[in-house]
């Protein structure tokens, strides 16, 4: 039998940075989850309006659910998976990010994470407010119709959410370019 050993570089830092970014995004997701499930309601402590009711009510409140799921998938899982790409380049191929490719990796890390977190947090919060607004006054809401919700609550969010998603996409493109440059280098 042949003894096969793997070599590991100690110069690769990008995989670890993306893992830590995923951990931080995961912590934000845990906080969001706690706010959504409202554990204090199980102890008889009532909040202003239950986020779980907003999700269950459908309508404009689905922005909250969509933002939450997208944050889990892109903010937490995709960020962790991205670390695998950096590990492959640095840890397996032994190609350390330096110079321009290092700047591209920084752009990837910062732009992608800020863009995703910012866009999804706005979606979650505004979706919550929209769900509360759609609830009848008798149930503690504002009794707004769909038009009022979109004009008064959701309309201002379209540009910031779009801009932040664009920022996240630019970050991913920078990361892909850096990945390509490092992969092609000797």
What's this model's pTM, rounded to 2 decimal places?
Answer: 0.83
pLDDT tens per residue across span 117-146:
999 999 999 998 998 898 888 877 888 998
Quote the pLDDT of residue 12.
73
C-alpha–C-alpha distance, residues 179 and 14, integer Å: 11
pLDDT tens per residue across span 19-53:
999 999 999 999 988 888 876 666 666 666 777 77
Please measure the distance between the N-terminal and C-terminal CA atoms of the chain and give it in whole angstroms. 32
The answer to whether residue 3 scores a pLDDT higher than 60 is: no
C-alpha–C-alpha distance, residues 178 and 86, integer Å: 10
SS (H, E, C) 116-159: HHHHHHHHHHHHHHHHHHHCCHHHCCCCCCHHHHHHHHHHHHHH
Distances (CA, A) of 131 to 48, 91, 124, 142, 155: 12, 47, 10, 9, 14
Is the separation of the CB atoms in 43 and 110 below 8 Å? no
C-alpha–C-alpha distance, residues 147 and 152, integer Å: 8
C-alpha–C-alpha distance, residues 64 and 52, integer Å: 10
pLDDT tens per residue across span 58-111:
777 788 889 999 999 999 999 999 999 999 999 999 999 999 999 999 999 999
């Amino acid at each position: 039998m042949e003894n096969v050993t793997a070599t590991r570089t100690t110069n690769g830092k990008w995989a670890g940075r993306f893992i830590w970014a995923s951990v931080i995004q995961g912590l934000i997701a845990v906080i969001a989850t706690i706010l959504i499930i409202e554990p204090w309601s199980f102890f008889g402590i009532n909040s202003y309006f239950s986020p779980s009711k907003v999700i269950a009510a459908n309508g404009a409140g689905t922005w909250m659910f969509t933002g939450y799921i997208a944050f889990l998938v892109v903010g937490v899982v995709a960020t962790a998976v991205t670390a695998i790409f950096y590990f492959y380049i640095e840890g397996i191929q032994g190609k350390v990010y330096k110079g321009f490719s290092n700047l591209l990796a920084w752009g990837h890390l910062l732009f992608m994470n800020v863009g995703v977190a910012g866009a999804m947090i706005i979606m979650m919060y505004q979706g919550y407010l929209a769900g509360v607004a759609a609830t009848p006054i008798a149930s503690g809401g504002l009794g707004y119709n769909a038009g009022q919700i979109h004009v008064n609550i959701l309309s201002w969010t379209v540009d910031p959410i779009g801009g932040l998603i664009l920022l996240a996409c630019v970050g991913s493109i920078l990361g892909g370019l850096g990945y390509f440059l490092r992969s092609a280098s000797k």
